[in-house]
Structure 1
């Protein structure tokens, strides 16, 4: 399992052999699993949530009802919104230039 220490490590969860944050990830992760990482209070002083401020890294957040390409800084908000609908929500990493992959 990839150790997550900073927001720079988050993309590694989506890659079998992490090499570059610029490239698209290899798979999808359930929102429920990813949100546990995003909402764990074990970063910085041990009482803080993981910072997700990067605007140059993109994710696909998809449920049965909708999907969205989301900047890393908006990942929590959009993930919660899509997951509030019935069904399963999945998240994938698109790299730094998602328009090349869509």
Structure 2
């Protein structure tokens, strides 16, 4: 996220995240664990100031660890769970349209400690 649109893009992400985090409490009470985890992962993304990296091949995508958060070519936010990718708020897995920007890597969080 560089350039003049970066601030607008970040503000839009923060608004979407605020909605997701607000719903996470309700999902927790109703037992939607995948959705709750996605909302929490997105919260960690917005707390991070790391610049996004780009994934261009299926091999690079497959090599990413679980709990990685990306934004694909269609501007969808997806979270990796096991070997599958989920869009927050949905219970089914998604195919990833490449290229994709890595918004969060679990290894980034460990390195910040």
Instruction: Give the TM-score taking structure 2 as reference length.
Output: 0.29
Higher RCO, 1 or 2 (CA under 8 Å, sep at least 6)?
1
Greater gyration radius: 2
Instruction: Give the TM-score taking structure 1 as reference length.
Output: 0.31
